[in-house]
Structure 1
Amino acid sequence: MLLRFDPFRDFDRLASEAFGTARTPQPMPMDCYRSGDTFFLHFDLPGINPDSVEVTAENNTLTVQASRQQIAPDDAQHLVAERPTGSYRRQVVLGDGLNIDAVTANYVDGVLTITIPVAEQAKPRHIAIGRGTTDHKVITA
């Protein structure tokens, strides 16, 4: 199992608990793969209200934003508070060969799935090879 070292994780957690907000946006795990002529991106957003999810595409950059609100009352005394609240944001730079106008997004069971088709001009094409003469003479006038 691979663990990422984040020296600011504990500081972020303490600041979030003390001030009620996160210092930086929380991480948003993502899987991305290509199947046929479509790219699929899956973002884990458990416990996120679908109304708080926003997906935008601008200048070949896809941005996913969401937020999770605290459900405990303000005067609650937490015994354990491991579920992060606050803003989530992730940006993905898209290549020129993708059809940005045909991006779709679907949120089911805490997973946001974004599909991005490959643009027609970026799809591989077969190029026919002509059969001509083997004469390589240069004609001068």
Structure 2
Amino acid sequence: MVRRYDPFRQMEAIFDDAMRQGPSRAAMPLDLYREGEQFIALFDLPGVDPASVDIDIEDRTLTIRAERLAVAPEGAQWLSHERPFGTFARQLTLGNGVALDQVEAEYVDGVLKLVIPVAEEAKPRKITVQRGSRQIEGESQVVNDAN
């Protein structure tokens, strides 16, 4: 019996196995840094409709939800299906030193940017020491007589 090597049939078998396992559910990648008096959070959300992005803050927990719809042309025979779809969510616990009522969000080119300002009460401040002229009770005033 002669067997012919068919690389396309082998490739199709590999892709069929991958399809049965389903697409991987990658987390919502995040970059977070401080820039002056604010924190910047960048979330990768390529292919997400900005209208599907939902951001909530409750008890210092920031929750971001976004949905990427599956693109499945009618009659398509998938060879590879690695791009995740569905609803994605990510939560961050925010510290006491941020102004939760001033958080701003912007979505540009598949990246969600959150600007989280430092709260006024958490900002460093200088306290000026006043020079007093008060005399401590019980002390006699020393007078310098240079006569």
Structure 1 equivalent of residue 118 of structure 2:
118
Q: Structure 1, unaligned stretches of length 5 or more?
A: 1-12
Matched, 1:63 2:63: yes
Residues 74 and 136 from structure 1, CA distance in 2 versus in 1: closer, same or farther, beyond 3 angstroms? farther
Q: Post-superposition shift, 1:64? A: 0.7
Matched, 1:16 2:32: no
Matched, 1:27 2:7: no
Q: Structure 2, unaligned stretches of length 5 or more?
A: 1-18, 140-147
Structure 2 equivalent of residue 54 of structure 1:
54
**Contact 1:26/1:89 (CA < 8 Å) preserved in 2?**
no
Correspondence 1:37-116 to 2 at 5 A: 37-73=37-73, 75-116=75-116
1:80-129 deviation line (CA, Å, top 9, x unaligned):
11111112110000001100000110000000000011111110010223
Q: What TM-score results when the alignment is normalised by the length of structure 2?
A: 0.71
Aligned residues with identical type, % of pairs: 47
Alignment length, in residue pairs? Answer: 121
Distance 1:74 1:98 in 2: 48
Residues 61 and 14 from structure 1, CA distance in 2 versus in 1: closer, same or farther, beyond 3 angstroms? farther
* Larger Rg computed on CA atoms: 2
Distance 1:69 1:97 in 2: 37
Helix, strand or coil for the counterpart of 1:127? Answer: coil
